[in-house]
Amino acid sequence: MEWLNAIVQGIMLGGLFALFATGLSLAFGVMRFVNLAHGDLAILGAFVAVSVISATGLNPFVSLVIVVPVMLAAGYALQLGAFNFTISPDPLPSILVTFGLGIVIQNVLLETYSADSRGLDVGSIEIESIRVTDAIAIGWIPLITLVVAVAVLGALQLVLSRTSLGRAFRAVSDDPPTARLMGINDRNLYAVAMGIAFATVAVAGVFLGIRQSFGPLDGPAQLLYAFEAVVIGGLGSVWGTLVGGLLLGVAHTVGGQFEVTYGYGSGPLVGHLVFLVVLATRPSGLLGRRAE
Amino acid sequence: MTLLEVRGLDAGYGDFQALFGIDVNVAEGETLAMIGANGAGKTTFLRVLAGQVPAWAGSIMFDGTDIAHVKAHRRVGLGIALVPEGRMLFGSLTVRENLIIGAHAGRAGRWNLDTVLDVFPLIRPLLDRPSHVLSGGEQQSVAIGRALMSNPRLILLDEVSLGLAPVVVKSLYEALPALSEGGATVLLVEQDIGQALEVASRLVCLLEGRVSLEGKPDGVARSDITAAYFGLPAGSGSEASS
């Protein structure tokens, strides 16, 4: 029963990983953009929520109504004003710029909020759960996180497959010069994609802050998990991102079962091993398109 | 009425100059065939008109406005559509989506999914298939249809016959008059001179980035076309073509 519980809890944790990975997957899928500041942006989203809550007294869930548009606008502006100039067949400029951005975000957060850990308080729901059996209970927050992750990814899939914007995203992803011949302004479209990526990572950051404490320097660890989820699921694949997140979450909690024997860290270690196995055996990811 | 007036156009890639002072006029409603050997600059010329390659010098007047520095995605709304060499369909889109995306920023007009499918009925049953599974001829039909969906005033066709079986090329060329009848002016780039001259009302021959011949198909001797095509001295084309 312990193992079954570990799997159930892993699926819940996977929802958070999938949320983190969504924006990373979208940015890579649409414009082959590797954003090394992605984890720091999640933490930035959580700190923006701290400020919003401090100023308005809103519940963290409700604060998303302000945090998400703010981050969406920031993503749009940053892509138009900076990231667009780094997009080229050579991935190095975008990697360098976003690496630098991550460092800037960390230090601005340190200066503004200090190095103290914070948390976003949503009240008693944090410790309430649904008891499935005597040995398995599902916390409301992890469950809500998973539902939100599925909803966000489902909405994104709908946009990509059913809307004019989604068609344009896929066309630009396939062939930007030809997309321009269709009247598509690829640079503006990249900004829209980055705005959506920032919005989703802000949601992830707020849910992280509700689930656990966070500090200004926690971004890189979140980036690592997001990358692993995206690679496991398949770069640029929406449902692959969900599958990758869930599998990584299960690997973490199942691996955590060994912590009694092998000590703290066996959960993330098993997650990294699953990532490496997928990378070695199926580099395009479980649901990604195989390279032709 | 002149729809397109190109004057003194220079263009190229990096340090390589591909076009040297090109002067070309295209009247509204005509079908102009641009012919020339490999590397003559035909594709570069079309790519400059579509905004994919920047003009180094000269002017491109489209309906009285200089568009030499207008970005590629804005030229579609002005009424210029390019059917690129190699078709360049979007592999992750279905045939239907490839056609619909052609109207993304296009103009209002007679061309829509139904009217395009009337011209290319063979692609109607393929609408929900991924574009990459189509044959070359089917892909070319979709590529032309996609350009038509923007309701262009000027449609630029780059080597529509390239890599296709003669029977497929013949059926594609049979569809071209429908483009003109739909109100589009056609600028056709071809290496297949015979095919191009059958549909063209005027021809321009490029040689090493320069205009080497211009005229009406029935007013230019075949030997002169051959000479202009290969860069032979005037009058020697009959020997070369025999």
For every residue of chain B, DSSP letters joined together read -EEEEEEEEEEEETTEEEEEEEEEEEETT-EEEEEE-TTSSHHHHHHHHHTSS-EEEEEEEETTEE-TTS-HHHHHHHTEEEE-TT----TTSBHHHHHHHTTSS---SS-SHHHHHHH-GGGGGGTTSBGGGS-HHHHHHHHHHHHHTT--SEEEEE-TTTT--HHHHHHHHHHHHHHHHTT-EEEEEES-HHHHHHH-SEEEEEETTEEEEEE-GGGS-HHHHHHHHHTPPTT-HHHHH-
Question: What pLDDT is attached to residue A266?
Answer: 84
State pLDDT tens for residues B40-80.
999 999 999 999 999 999 999 999 999 999 999 999 999 99
Using an 8 Å CB-CB cutoff, list chain A residues near B150: 182-183
CATH number at residue B14: 3.40.50.300
Q: Do B106 and A168 touch (CB under 8 A)?
A: no
Using an 8 Å CB-CB cutoff, list chain B residues near A180: 51-52, 71-73
Domains and CATH numbers, chain A: 2-115+136-281 (1.10.3470)
Q: How many CA atoms lie within 13 A of A150 on its CB side?
A: 9
- Residue span of the structural domain in which B65 resides: 2-241
Counting the structural domains of chain B, the total is 1
d(CA A239, CA A149): 11
The pLDDT confidence band at residue A61, using thresholds 50, 70 and 90, is very high
The pLDDT confidence band at residue A213, using thresholds 50, 70 and 90, is very high
Q: Do A183 and B71 touch (CB under 8 A)?
A: no
Of B3, B82, B21, B13, the C-alpha closest to B47 is B82
State pLDDT tens for residues B147-187.
999 999 999 999 888 878 788 888 888 888 888 887 889 99
What kind and span of H or E run contains A203? Answer: helix A186-211
**Mean pLDDT, residues A44-50 taken together:** 97
Q: Do A170 and B92 touch (CB under 8 A)?
A: yes
The pLDDT confidence band at residue A292, using thresholds 50, 70 and 90, is very low
Answer whether residue A154 shows pLDDT above 50. yes
The nearest CA of chain B is from the CA of A74 a distance in Å of: 25
Question: What pLDDT is attached to residue A289?
Answer: 64
DSSP line for A152-191: HHHHHHHHHHHSHHHHHHHHHHH-HHHHHHTT--HHHHHH
Question: What pLDDT is attached to residue A94?
Answer: 93
**Mean pLDDT, residues A183-200 taken together:** 96
Answer whether residue A139 shows pLDDT above 80. yes
Using an 8 Å CB-CB cutoff, list chain B residues near A178: 84, 88, 90
State pLDDT tens for residues A97-116.
999 999 999 999 999 999 99
Q: Do A183 and B104 touch (CB under 8 A)?
A: yes
Answer whether residue B239 shows pLDDT above 70. no
Which residue of chain B is at minimal alpha-carbon distance from A30? B92
Question: What pLDDT is attached to residue A129?
Answer: 87
Facing residue for A167 by CB, picked from B100, B106, B146: B100
Binding-face residues of A in 160-219 toward B, CB within 8 A: 164, 167-168, 170-171, 173-175, 177-186
Answer whether residue A51 shows pLDDT above 90. yes
Q: Give the distance, in angstroms, between the CA of residue A125 and the centroid of all CA atoms in the same chain.
A: 23
Name the pTM for this structure. 0.89
Which residue of chain A is at minimal alpha-carbon distance from B146? A182
Mutate to test the interface with A, among B43, B73, B80, B100 (most CBs of A within 10 A): B73
**Mean pLDDT, residues A188-211 taken together:** 96
